[in-house]
Structure 1
Amino acid sequence: MFVEQSELESLREIYYLTNGASGSWRKLLAFGDSLEQQLKRKLLWIWPTMVDLENHNHFLAKHHIQRILSIGCGSGLLEWLMAAAGGQKISMHGLEVDRNWWQSKYSVRSFIPLNYVEDADQLDDSFLSGCCNDAPPCAMLFCYFNNRRAFLEYLRIYQGKWLILIGPHPALGIHTDPNPIQPQLPADGWVLRERLDWTDRNVVAFYEKCSII
């Protein structure tokens, strides 16, 4: 796999800025602003602003959400930024497929702890609850997710009550499934509690399940 020198240098800088417990998240945001758009999107699809992160973490603190499980998180760099900006008060974990890829020499390293779907015989209640249950409150996060069938299956077995959806504003014409504003959630008590409009017309939507059985 060929990686351009500029990308390698950018990755080295990102690794340096994320080193340690909290790293230098403000410097990382500034570094992202200095990158060309094509490389910027390749390394991280969404580069939030400081205000974006502050608003996001304010909502988490308001509702005492202490843990987040990010489905299909990739390298988890966005999730690292969220946690670092919040003073590491949020425990971030990711769930991915294809352990061989994410642990290979070709992959960008993981910035948050990763769980792998293939470690479970099947996606069942015990597996997801082991990653994220509701004591203390947690949230399941989908960022630019685009697999309706998988989304509904995760939602079916999820035992928590908070759901965070990140994606494009519908007017941009970029398809994700679910879309944060029009997610077409199952009719079992999911209520939109907050919508944050992030930079570059990204949307972060918080949904609460009000009728957990």
Structure 2
Amino acid sequence: MSPDTVCLDNQIKSLTDEKKWQDIIEIGKQLSHDEKSRYIWVWPNQNCLHFIKNCLEEIQKLFRRIGSGLLEWLIEQSTGSRVYGIEINEKWWTSKYSPTKFIQLNYVDNVDINMEFLKKCANNTENFILFFCYFNCFKTFRKYLNSYNGKYLMIIGPDDTKHKNQKIFTEPGPFNLGLNSNENVWKLYKFFEIDNNGNFLAFYIKG
């Protein structure tokens, strides 16, 4: 880890300790794509967080595959909602090479994504959103959906038709859930264009 990276880690960690989420958003405007992606694939602006807050007004909790947790920390601070973060590969995320973690990570290594998974995550059918940001495996995504009893889904990722870097793709995408017609019970409710690079946040409701 380079001295510059350590300095940036410490700067962001200090701001989270002081709960200065607006200052962290401003820092993102000054960072390169590589610097940003160490923490968040898509750095949100205040309008994006306001959109998420509106989506969460009737919902109490959010859980997702988490990464560093900085995006989730920003969501918690700006919306007042609680985020439950899950990850795999505990060995990596607790190593000296991983970025600073900004919320608690709950590891599900060697856990089947079924009833055992649900015990570690949300089993409430009303007050949770399942949230994916730059996720990259349709097969695992389907397992999450099959285990999830809730009715809200949120996805951040690039729109393949608009994203400036055509080498970047996600599974699922914000407008491509990769589901068969008999599997797709999710209806697009609203979406938000996060930046001018073709990154979107899409909010779905089951039914």
Q: TM-score, normalised by structure 2?
A: 0.88
> Identity of paired residues, percent?
34
Aligned to 2:201: 204
CA–CA distance in structure 2, aligned partners of residues 92 and 74 of structure 1: 13
Partners of 1:134 and 1:161 within 8 A in 2: no
Aligned to 2:48: 52
- When structure 1 is superposed on structure 2, of 10-19 and 97-106 the one drifting more is 97-106
Deviation, 1:139, is: 0.7
CA–CA distance in structure 2, aligned partners of residues 66 and 136 of structure 1: 9
- Residues 57-95 of structure 1 deviation map (CA, whole Å, 9 limit, x = unaligned): 11211xx11111112x21111111111111xx2110111
CA–CA distance in structure 2, aligned partners of residues 193 and 58 of structure 1: 12
For the pair 1:97 / 2:81, whether they are aligned, the reply is no
- When structure 1 is superposed on structure 2, of 122-131 and 100-109 the one drifting more is 122-131
Q: How does 1:8-23 map to 2 (within 5 A)?
A: 8-19=6-17, 23=19
Q: How does 1:33-44 map to 2 (within 5 A)?
A: 33-44=29-40
Structure with the largest fraction of helix: 1
For the pair 1:110 / 2:106, whether they are aligned, the reply is no
1:179 to 166, 173, 176: 173
**Any runs of at least 4 consecutive aligned residues in structure 1 with deviations exceeding 6 A, and if so which?**
none
Q: TM-score, normalised by structure 1?
A: 0.86
* CA separation of 1:24 and 1:119: change in aligned 2, threshold 3 A: farther
Deviation, 1:119, is: 6.3
- Could you say what secondary structure the match of 1:132 adopts? coil
Partners of 2:9 and 2:100 within 8 A in 1: no
Number of paired residues?
A: 200
Q: Which runs of 5+ in 1 are unaligned?
A: none
For the pair 1:164 / 2:158, whether they are aligned, the reply is no
- When structure 1 is superposed on structure 2, of 91-100 and 31-40 the one drifting more is 31-40
Aligned to 2:67: 74
CA–CA distance in structure 2, aligned partners of residues 185 and 163 of structure 1: 14
Partners of 2:135 and 2:170 within 8 A in 1: yes
Q: Give the aligned residue type for 2:144.
A: Y
CA–CA distance in structure 2, aligned partners of residues 126 and 160 of structure 1: 16
